Amino acid sequence: MRLKDKVAIVTGGSRDIGRAVSIQLARQGAKVVVNYNSNIENANETLQQIKKDGGEAIIVKGDVTKSADIAQLIAESHKAFGNKIDILVNVAGGMVARKATAELDEAFWDQVMDLNLKSVFLVSKATIPSMESGGSIINLSSLAGRDGGGPGASAYATAKGGVMTYTRALAKELGPKNIRVNAVLPGMIATTFHDTFSKPEARVNVANATLLKREGTAEEVADLVVYLASSESSYLTGTNIDINGGLNFS
């Protein structure tokens, strides 16, 4: 168990990639704080799967665009598992809607930036004081952050590009403390995100364009996150790692 007795916070941990990450971290011995925003049923399903596997976890409701909610998230982690946090996985995010630039207004732009970029900053800032040498922060960016995304995804892609840059900057800042910061950039992963925002024919075309001729799975992304959280990746920091079946090599 590579993460035995480590404490991990996963934002957006109740479904899809966040759920897979939470479950995989727990299977590797971590005590997991599963953050969710609104759907307690999904959060409880994640919690029950972790417990079924013999793991330890709690669920904590909170909007990670709000400092007060984040402070409560950290407090609940300390209450359940002690004052040290070893791993932070910033998964929370979303496209909200596909909108061309002509359709964008300031409120929508700010909403997408807050959800995908500001949240990473706020949760990281709140967590770092509880991290010691050997800590690991893993941010979820996206292939969209490299290539600008698909139609109507300019705000989302820009925010995810910001996550990539913030990952590099934070890695430089925290490196002397031996806290590593990396980002994972999924391509087409079979999740409810694409069920909502991608047309079936577009998904087929993208899957066929990958070298492996398929979509990825949330579990495959979670395996990469676990690697980055573990000591096996102890000389990796400041990286933005693609996981897209060979669709993009950048």
As annotated, the active-site residues are: 156
Q: Where are the alpha helices (DSSP H) in 138-181?
A: 144-147, 154-174
Length of the chain: 250
Contact partners, residue 85, CB within 8 Å, separation at least 6: 7, 8, 9, 74, 77, 127, 130, 131, 135
φ/ψ (deg, to 5) at 116: -100, -30
The DSSP-derived string for 27-90 is HTT-EEEEEESS-HHHHHHHHHHHHHTT-EEEEEE--TTSHHHHHHHHHHHHHHH-S---EEEE
By C-alpha distance, which of 41, 42, 37 is closest to 65?
A: 37
